Amino acid sequence: QRTDLSPKAALSWDFADGWALRLAHGKAVRYPTVAELFQGSISANAIVNNNPDLKPERDESTDLTLTRQLANGHWRVSLFQDRIADSLYSQTDITVTPSITSVQNIDRMRNRGIEGEIGLTDVWTAGLDLQASVAFNNARTLDDRQYPLANGKYFPRIPKLRTSVFADYRFAPQWDASLGVRHSGRQYGSLDNSDY
């Protein structure tokens, strides 16, 4: 039996007309699923092991955000950091023989970055809204006792660069058309960054 608190707090300062600065911090907890705890399998000579001793994943998140309100929208820049303890991740345990693929706790990982976003309404013509964002991530495995080759490497499936552009056009009453483009930069799929 275990209980966790997930406190969150934010402090905002409107330091000039149309300008705001916000500092926020929060804790999130994700408990392992029933499948991660108890559902193992053997398929195509691969062993997928369950682990009833998994710990919950705990994330301490902090961000500092500067926002500017415009006549027809806003822009925002955010510095952020996530520090995650006991991150739940499916990996191969090389400390046992034969190796077994299972969901394990990664002791410590961290993601730091910066994100910029702009949202504008009635751009060039009435009813056309635009939104764009770009984010740079530096996600690293800080400590993984189950798989030491991952220490110091980029954390899998978090791209270094993410961008998006979305347009929404209200061209008639009760009619709306949207178009969006997203780009996800290079990312690794393995904890030791051995894939290309």
| pLDDT value of position 104 | 87
Residue 110 pLDDT exceeds 70: yes
Mean pLDDT, range 153-170, rounded to an integer:
96
Of 87, 192, 189, 178, nearest to 148 by C-alpha is 192
Between 190 and 170, the more confident residue is: 170
Q: What percent of the chain has pLDDT over 90?
A: 72
Residue 106 pLDDT exceeds 70: yes
pTM value is 0.83
Residue 36 pLDDT exceeds 70: yes
Between 183 and 42, the more confident residue is: 183
Q: What is the pLDDT of residues 68-97, one digit of tens each?
A: 999 999 999 999 999 999 999 987 655 666
Minimum mean pLDDT range among 42-46, 121-125, 144-148, 186-190: 42-46
| pLDDT value of position 97 | 64
Q: β-pairing, 100-120 with 46-49? A: parallel
| pLDDT value of position 164 | 98
Residue 130 pLDDT exceeds 80: yes
Residue 133 pLDDT exceeds 90: yes
Residue 27 pLDDT exceeds 90: yes
Q: What is the pLDDT of residues 173-184, one digit of tens each?
A: 899 999 999 999
Mean pLDDT, range 24-29, rounded to an integer:
97
